[in-house]
Structures are given as C-alpha cells and as structure tokens.
Amino acid sequence: MTGSGRRSARSRIKSSTDDDDDGGDDSIRRTRQPNLKSLRDRSKRRHSSIGIFNIDLKIMLGVSVFALLIIFFLIQHLVKPAKELQRPRVVTPFPGPKLMDLPQFQGEHKESLYWGTYRPHVYLGIRARTPRSLVSGLMWIGVKDGRYHMRHVCQDSDELSTYGWTQHNGRDFGHQVLVDQDLKLGTSFLKSKSEDSGYGGDWAVRIDVQSENSEQNEEIQRNGHLFFYLANEDGGTLSLGGSTLDISENSLLASGTLADVGGWQLHLVSKDSLEVHYSGFRTPHIHNLSELVQQNLAAQIRKFGQLQLSDSTEDFPNILVFQISARIPFKTDIVFVSGTRGDKARVEERVSSLTGTALTHQLQDRQMKFDAKFEQCFKVADKLEPESTIVGKAVIANMLGGIGYFYGQSKISYPRDFSNKDRDNFIAYWPAELYTAVPSRPFFPRGFLWDEGFHQLLIWRWDIHICLDILGHWLDLMNIDGWIPREQILGSEALSKVPEEFVLQHPTNGNPPTLFLVVHDLLHGIEKNKFAPAERNEITSFFEHAFVRLEAWFQWFNTTQSGKIMGSYFWHGRDNTTTHELNPKVLFLEEYLDIKVLRKKFRQDFF
C-alpha cells in the first residue's frame, strides 16, 4: 500500500501540474472570456472604421475629381483670357469704336455694295462683301500654238493681248474686253434690285464670244468652251438644277439658300445652240478651282476622248462648275436671283428682265450713264482727244473694277522680345475684313497701304461714299500702337498669289502715309464747297470719328519712322541681306507730308 501511496518526484510534479492545469483552465477561461469579448468589440470597431474609411475615401475621391474639373474649367475660361490679354501689343486692336460701325456705312449703303466684282485676281469673279460668301467666276479654254490652255486667274504668262474694264461704275455695272489669241470675249456685269429680291438684289453676267477668224486656228477653234462656276465658301451644299441640263426646256442651273439673301437660283439663257455639262466638287478650298476642273477634263479625255465635264457630282457639293460649249460666235446670259422662296418671288419674270433684249437695253443705259458721269467728274471733253478720253475711261474703270473684298488674318513676324514656344515663325493678326482697290490684278491683287492713298485721290472724285468706306476699312486695321500692316494678304485666294518669303508683315516697317493726301483733298474740298450738303455732313462725321485713329497713326510714324534730321522721315526695315530690296526705300523731304499741319487743321475744323 505503501508503494501505492508513494509517488516519485516526477509523478508528483506531473500530478501537481495536472492538478494545476485542471484548476488553471477554469481560471484562464474565466480570465480570458472578458478579453475575447473585448477583442471582438475591438474587431467590430476596427471593421466599422475600415468601412467608414472606405466610404469616406470614395467620397473624397469623387470630390477631388469634381474639384479638378472645376479647376480645369476655370483655367480654360478664366486663365486663358488672361493670357490672351498678355499677347503682344502688335496683335492687339486699337481700343476705339470701329469706323465701319458708323451709321453712314449701314442700311442702304451697305446693301447697295453687297454684290460686286470683288475678286480682282481672276478675269471675272463675283462675290459678296461678307466673310463666307457664295462666289462665282469664269474660266475658258484658250488655244495657243495648237494647244489648249485653261484661263482663270489673271497672269502675264497667259499672254492675253488685252484684258481689262473699259467701263465700271464701282457699284452695279461693268464691261470688260479680253482678247486671247484669236478669241475675243466681252463680259458685262449688272445688278438689279426689285421689291421681290433678297438682300443685295439680283445680278446678271453676259458673255459674248467672238473670233478674230484666223485661218491658222479656224479649224481647232470652231467651238468655244466656257466654264462658269459657283462655290460656297461656307461649305453649304449647292443643288443642281437637274440631272440633265437642257436649257431649251429649263434655264435653271443651280439653287440653294444663303443666310443673308434667302433662297436663290442661277439661270442660263441663250438664243444660241449651247451644249451644257457640269461637275460638282466637295472641298473646303476654292483657290485651286482651276486644278479641279482641269483634272476632271483630263480624266474624261483619257476615258472617252471628249473635252467635256463628267456630268457627275461628289456628295453634298459646295462647288458646281458648268461647261458651256457652242460654235463661235455665241452669246449667253447668266442670272442670279435672290429671295426665291414664296409664291410672290416672280422668278421667271425677274429672269426675263435680266436676259435677252431687256438686259441689252439696261447695259446700254448704264454705259451712257457711265460716260455722262465721267464727263461730270473730270470735265475733259474740251481738253482731250477722243483717244485720250477712251484711255481716261479705262483708267477709272479699271480702278473701280479692281476693288476687292478680302477676309482673313495677316501673318505678323514675332517681336524680338516675344518668347515663341510654337513652331510657327509668326503670330496671327485678328480676323479682319478689307474693302480696297488693288495695284495690279495679275501681280498684286490685294491691299497695299501705300498705294491706297493714291487710289483714293481718283476714287473720291467718282464716288465719295466708296472712298470713305475704303478709308474706314483700312483705319480699322490699326493696332493699339497705331501701326497698320502695309500689305494685306487676307484669305487663301490672296495667299496663293504671294511667295512665302513675302508673306510676313513686320511691325517695324511702315509705308509712306499717303492716306493723308486723301484727307487733305477732302478737307480742301469741303472748304471749296465741292460737295453737296449731305456729302459734306458724311465726310465731317467720318473725320470726327476717325481723328483718334489718324492721330495715333501720326504718332506711330513720328516715333518709329523718324529720320536723323528733325522733322524728317525715312522708310525703316530695309533688309540689306537680300537682293529683293535694291531700292533703299528712303522717304525724301519732298515726298513726306507735313502731318503736323494736317493735325492742326483737324483740330481747327472739328474741335
């Protein structure tokens, strides 16, 4: 029993441990139970915090994204205009009311000049005085050395022996003669305004094709080919008059709608036997129309051996070209009528009044009025021989017929202190329009500031309203410093005629201020009572508003173009590294104007 009662130390230790374990488990369970509960509570709180944090994070991300969008919006609409305010002064407009916003240039005056032969770079081109216009023009095929040549843009390489306006009144009438080898074309332009017309009225073009009957080209030139086109600069679709154009049954060539004039139609009328073909194009550019037509003709010749357009159009064409072919001689009348929507449009009656015998009578009447006005303005009947009088009429006719309308942005060379981060080597002037005469149709069919002063010495004597309109357009091109770009290359058509090296305008360069010659003439005319009371009031009002710009222009010349001698000026900006500028362009003392005297005269007369 003793053995059973005695236990080894190991046994005792183990037993003791076992006993302790038994008793300790209960104790530990009792002590651990609260801790586990606490852990559960903590775990719940932790999970709850994580969930809340996840929700808060989503909200924060959403708020952040929304805030970024607001910041981006503010940058685009607030910061960007602020940057624009920091753009170079050279492309900042003059801070004053525009002269072309004056009441005298609105209403009837503006509408009367809406349509015109305002595309002087082509042999015959018509457009409206609006940035995105419906434009029209004439091409023809000339024959030289037995080969065909397309004529469209005025250029000396065409070797026309004669072309130019023999009569033009600057508003609603003009007659032109073009002699291309043995082909002679007479083109007449006439505008008409009726109660049913849309804005700007209607217009008609007569093309009279004759031959000089040269035996050498008699066979090859027995047929004449004209191409009359319409192009919508705004990109709007032009509708064809029909899938087959038979003018003996239907004179309608095309139709469409313009924001200013409403519905319009183009009609072709002729007593001669004509063959008409067409082609339609879709393109954003119109300065390459000659190439489009020639490519179409070349494809037809390759396929069918015929010199005629394809009688097809691209989808939604904004350009329509009509080929008018007939045996020479022949004559055709093309009429544009506006405001054709509605039952009271009287389209047929209006077309009839601008074609055939009715058109002949109106053209004869305008020719007589032109001759009478020429004598009234210049009084040369007793001073000049008949041949010299013809030359004089051609001079004023070509000056007025060379007036054009342009819209676009000049390219200005960067000022030296301007950081150019772009690849372009120029900064764009603001979008602007210009109504102006041009120095040369084949070489310089765009506005030149220097030339315009001399142009207006002639034009104001013919039509003071056109003169003031042109002066206003030029002065509205002035920047904040009083500088006006000397050469205006506005729009793709004007740009296509200028070599790249001459495109940029330099803010340091200025032309002689010949517009002051016109200012002097007009003020002198007022003193001598050369104007009717209404004209005098318009001139006075114009100068009252133009004075601030004229004075700014004077200050620009006086500070940037001054010479070494007090009161002298010279033409800054000659590039002595090029052979294109051999003329030193110096303004000699006898050439520049005493602008200070003119300024004093302004103040005496108007202030």
pLDDT digits (tens, 9 = 90+) for 59-88: 777 777 777 777 777 776 655 554 445 678
DSSP labels, 181-219: TTEEEEEEEEEE--TT--TT-EEEEEEEEEE---STTTT
Confidence of residue 11 (pLDDT cuts 50, 70, 90): very low
pLDDT digits (tens, 9 = 90+) for 439-469: 999 999 999 999 999 999 999 999 999 999 9
Residue 24's pLDDT is what? 47
pLDDT digits (tens, 9 = 90+) for 100-145: 999 999 999 999 999 999 999 999 999 999 999 999 999 999 988 8
Q: Is the pLDDT of residue 54 over 90?
A: no
Helix (H) or strand (E) holding 31: helix 9-74
Per-position b or e across 503-533, b if 16+ CB within 10 A of its CB: ebbbbebbbbbbbbbbbbbbbebbeeeebee
Distance between start and end Cα atoms, the chain:
147
Residue 14's pLDDT is what? 42
pLDDT digits (tens, 9 = 90+) for 130-188: 999 999 999 999 988 888 999 999 999 999 999 999 999 999 999 999 999 999 999 99
Starting at the earlier edge strand, list the strands of the sheet with 173-180.
Answer: 162-168, 173-180, 183-192, 202-211, 330-338, 262-269, 252-258, 239-240
Which residues, at least 6 apart from 474, have a Cβ–Cβ distance to it below 8 Å? Answer: 434, 436, 447, 449, 452, 484, 515
Residue of 364, 337, 360 lying closest to 203 (CA atoms): 337
Rg (CA), the chain: 39
Give 105 or 211, the one with higher predicted confidence: 105
Which residues, at least 6 apart from 185, have a Cβ–Cβ distance to it below 8 Å? Answer: 140, 177, 178, 179, 207, 208, 209, 210
Instruction: Return mean pLDDT, the chain.
Output: 85
Helices (H), 463-594: 464-475, 492-495, 515-527, 533-560
Residue 285's pLDDT is what? 86
Cis peptide before 485 (omega within 30 of 0): no
Q: Which two tokens stand for residue 140?
A: 């023809």
275-281 and 223-232 strand pairing: unpaired
Give the pTM. Answer: 0.81
Confidence of residue 27 (pLDDT cuts 50, 70, 90): very low
Q: Which two tokens stand for residue 312?
A: 């097809």
Number of DSSP helices (H) and strands (E) in the chain, helices first: 14, 22
Confidence of residue 341 (pLDDT cuts 50, 70, 90): confident
DSSP code of residue 122: B
134-144 and 125-128 strand pairing: antiparallel
Residue 412's pLDDT is what? 94
User: What is the rounded distance in angstroms from the CA atom of residue 476 to the CA atom of residue 485?
Assistant: 11
**Per-residue 3-state assignment (H helix, E strand, C coil) for 408-460:** ECCEEECCCCCCCCCCCCEEECCCEEEEECCCECCCECCEEHHHHHHHHHHHH
Chain center to CA of 548:
27
Helix (H) or strand (E) holding 339: none
CB-count exposure of residue 13 (10 Å: 0-12, 13-18, 19+): exposed
Mean per-residue pLDDT, 306-334 = 96
